[in-house]
């Protein structure tokens, strides 16, 4: 079972980006933790990050074509990208698991973060648990696949 862990814009800056909100772990730390959790669960985990909407959509298409499950932190795309949403819809329609993850809890933050255009097509959402949320998401994929 393969799981793509996809991270959207500005998440490559983890560690230096608003550490009060997102913590001190870098993306590399997060990737390592995901790979370790994946190995424990018998999942093949690949972690990627992009600031580019087109690249993100291509990765989601690739997951559908390859039959990979997806753990997605869409970052700011969450709040406005119908194109990312439509790509995500193909994942769940294909019977694959797609879990939306946020490090912070957007519901406690600015009003523009309260809307997720992705949630409605996700299998489920985990928010507010920092890096642990990604590990929980991988466990949820393992339990469902
Ligand atoms: C985020 C929350 C989003 O509102 C924000 O745009 C991000 C990160 C999170 O992981 O908490 O970039 O997805």
- Say if CB 63 and CB 85 are below 8 A apart: no
In-domain check, residue 36: yes
- Say if CB 7 and CB 27 are below 8 A apart: yes
pLDDT confidence tier of residue 145, bands split at 50, 70 and 90: confident
In-domain check, residue 78: yes
Q: Ligand 1: which residues within 6 Å by Cβ?
A: 10, 73, 75-76, 78, 102-104, 106, 113
CATH of the domain at 114: 3.40.50.9100
ipTM over 0.95: yes
Which atom of ligand 1 approaches the CA of 79 most closely?
A: 4
Rounded Cα distance, 57 and 53, in Å: 6
Nearest CA to ligand 1 atom 7: 75
Q: CA–CA distance from 138 to each of 9, 54, 72, 86 (Å)? A: 21, 25, 11, 22
Nearest CA to ligand 1 atom 13: 75
pLDDT for 15-68, tens place per residue? 998 898 998 999 999 999 999 999 999 999 999 999 999 999 999 999 999 999
Distance of CA 9 from the midpoint of ligand 1 (Å) = 9
Domain that holds residue 122: 10-144
pLDDT for 4-25, tens place per residue? 999 999 999 999 988 989 989 9
78, pLDDT greater than 90: yes
In-domain check, residue 5: no
In-domain check, residue 50: yes
In-domain check, residue 2: no
């Amino acid at each position: 079972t393969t799981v793509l862990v996809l991270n959207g814009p500005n998440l490559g800056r983890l560690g230096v980006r608003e550490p009060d909100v997102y913590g001190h772990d870098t993306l590399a730390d997060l990737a390592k933790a995901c790979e370790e959790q994946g190995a424990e669960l018998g999942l093949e985990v690949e972690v990627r990050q992009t600031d580019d909407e087109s690249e993100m959509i291509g990765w989601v298409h690739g997951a559908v074509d390859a039959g990979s499950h997806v753990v997605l932190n869409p970052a700011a795309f969450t709040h406005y990208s119908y194109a990312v949403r439509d790509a995500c819809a193909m994942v769940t329609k294909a019977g694959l698991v797609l879990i939306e993850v946020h490090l912070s809890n957007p519901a406690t933050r600015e009003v523009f973060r309260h809307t997720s255009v992705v949630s409605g097509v996700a299998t489920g959402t985990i928010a507010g648990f920092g890096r642990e949320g990604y590990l929980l998401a991988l466990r949820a994929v393992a339990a469902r696949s």
